[in-house]
Amino acid sequence: MKLSFHGAAHEVTGSCHLIECQGRKILVDCGMFQGERDLHEDNATPFGFAPAEIDAVLLTHAHLDHCGRLPLLTKRGFRGEIIATSATRDLARLVMLDSAHLHEEEAKRQHRHGQRGGHHEALYDTMDALDAVDRFGRNATYKKPIELFPGIVATFFDAGHILGSASIRLALSEGAHRRTVLFSGDIGPTDRPLLNEPAPPDDADIVVMETTYGDRDHRSLDASVAEFLAAIRDADRRGGNVIIPTFALERAQELLWVLREGMAAGNIRKTLQVFLDSPMAISATRLFERHPEALRPEIAAMIHDGRDPFRLPELHFTREAHESMALNQVRSGAVIMAGSGMCTGGRVRHHLRHNLAHTDCSVIFVGYAAAGTLARIIVDGARQVKLFGEEVPVRAKIHTINGFSAHAGASDLKRWHARTGTPERTFLVHGEEKGMTAFARSLAPARVEMPRLHQHYEI
């Protein structure tokens, strides 16, 4: 049996791990490399294995850095089955189609500008994404084993990270040799407003786990909610707009829920004009209502009773581009949630361009900001930033609230690892160098490996 790593090795994006057993090849995730720099080359480079030889893909969750190269895998010859929870399948369809559209637009733009050295062919297009959607086969239900092939059984467990997210256990046998390998996927913290807590199995021989926040804990959710509502109140008093760079999956819905609760408790004004300015977040919100089975029982009960957990008195869904552009004329009183969360693209960059220079405006960061992204540059205190070719001074009030993270902090990661039994070996992935090495030290004396890209291990 072999385990190899083809992404998220000493970095946080591009998750892609390969198990080889009995001559079968099973991939866990096939994610996109993401960041501020042009990663087209990294994504377009060979996978490190032959796509046509992959028998099945197990998908932990629908974030782009976990499912974003599935259309490319299909384009390059993959014909096996993709297995995921039904919520992940619905969300992944949305994410892959959106990504294909972005790649098509980018290729057109490069072609129009005749950029020298530019890549004029889209990494993949809508047809490739639809082909990938067609490869989805059986739906996984938490804790219910699925036999992939005789002697290879996959079981999904709630990872509490985003809607439908899972850790996946593979029970493998090859002759008399047996191994249980647990892939964490991305692990959520224990105090999420909409999702259940992570619930890993306790019998792993080998653990492959994420370490995004391996070196620090977040503030508690309660403290973060209080801080968030205070920031909204403060901005409301000062009169300017509030820009919230928002991840479309989970974070946007969490914030709608938090705003709803804040209004119900009288912490913020009920008549606040809130704009969800992200077609993807708007669609994802609808999918949440379609998957109560993946939500906390009390939220599921609301949906069953026909009460919309994401409704606010003055909530506006701005799906169309012209509606979004109209927001650029609004000088005060708008709370605008827009993507991308790390400000690497999307509508939020336009809103930053129109609001960053105003002292009465606020920008509230509520998510992870990878090194090198515009979000991280602003969070780190830049006095001015470059947007659409112009220098924009940063005069707006900047808030960074980290307790909303969809990722477990170091203490929760350690607890999660302790719950998996006493694994012989633990492979750390999906982390920046500093967090990962700190986490490796904290697991001592456990046997820990930090694999490099394309590195193979016998297991």
**Cβ pair 420, 204 in contact under 8 A:** yes
Two tokens at 71? 């259309």
Q: How many beta carbons lie within 10 A of that of residue 193, not counting itself?
A: 18
Q: Least distance in Å: CB of 294 to Zn ion?
A: 15
Q: Applying CB under 5 A, which part among 171-179, 180-188, 289-297, 303-311 lies near Zn ion?
A: 180-188
Q: Applying CB under 5 A, which part among 185-193, 197-205, 431-439, 446-454 lies near Zn ion?
A: 185-193
**Cβ pair 15, 29 in contact under 8 A:** yes
Q: Least distance in Å: CB of 346 to Zn ion?
A: 17
The Cα–Cα gap between 368 and 404 comes to 9
Q: Least distance in Å: CB of 66 to Zn ion?
A: 6
Which of 20, 128, 186, 250: binder of Zn ion (CB under 5 A)?
Answer: 186
Q: Applying CB under 5 A, which part among 22-30, 62-70, 280-288, 425-433 lies near Zn ion?
A: 62-70
Q: Applying CB under 5 A, which part among 55-63, 130-138, 259-267, 282-290 lies near Zn ion?
A: 55-63
**Cβ pair 257, 225 in contact under 8 A:** no
- Asked whether position 192 contacts Zn ion by CB under 5 A, the answer is no
β pairing state of 17-21 and 24-28: antiparallel
Q: How many beta carbons lie within 10 A of that of residue 104, not counting itself?
A: 16
The Cα–Cα gap between 36 and 34 comes to 7
* H helix runs in 135-269, sequence order: 221-238, 251-264
Q: Least distance in Å: CB of 425 to Zn ion?
A: 23
Q: Which of residues 63 and 69 has its CB atom nearest to Zn ion in the complex?
A: 63
Q: Least distance in Å: CB of 47 to Zn ion?
A: 20
Site pattern 317..336 for Zn ion (x: CB under 5 A)? --------------------
**Cβ pair 149, 21 in contact under 8 A:** no
The Cα–Cα gap between 208 and 210 comes to 7
Q: Which of residues 186 and 412 has its CB atom nearest to Zn ion in the complex?
A: 186
Q: Applying CB under 5 A, which part among 63-71, 117-125, 205-213, 408-416 lies near Zn ion?
A: 63-71
The Cα–Cα gap between 145 and 405 comes to 30
**Cβ pair 58, 146 in contact under 8 A:** no
Q: Which of residues 13 and 324 has its CB atom nearest to Zn ion in the complex?
A: 13
Site pattern 70..109 for Zn ion (x: CB under 5 A)? ----------------------------------------
Q: Least distance in Å: CB of 402 to Zn ion?
A: 16
Name the packing angle between helices 86-113 and 279-290 (round to 10°): 170
The Cα–Cα gap between 13 and 4 comes to 16
Q: Least distance in Å: CB of 250 to Zn ion?
A: 9
Q: Which of residues 157 and 275 has its CB atom nearest to Zn ion in the complex?
A: 157
DSSP letter (8 states) at residue 194: S
Q: Which of residues 131 and 186 has its CB atom nearest to Zn ion in the complex?
A: 186
Q: Least distance in Å: CB of 159 to Zn ion?
A: 9
8, burial (CB in 10 Å: exposed 0-12, middle 13-18, buried 19+): buried
Number of residues this chain uses to bind Zn ion (CB under 5 A): 2
- Asked whether position 63 contacts Zn ion by CB under 5 A, the answer is yes
Q: How many beta carbons lie within 10 A of that of residue 219, not counting itself?
A: 16
Name the residue among 406, 92, 141, 363 with its Cα closest to residue 250.
406
Q: Applying CB under 5 A, which part among 48-56, 59-67, 97-105, 290-298 lies near Zn ion?
A: 59-67
Q: Applying CB under 5 A, which part among 100-108, 182-190, 319-327, 423-431 lies near Zn ion?
A: 182-190
Q: Which of residues 161 and 351 has its CB atom nearest to Zn ion in the complex?
A: 161
User: Which residues of this chain interact with Zn ion, rule CB under 5 A?
Assistant: 63, 186
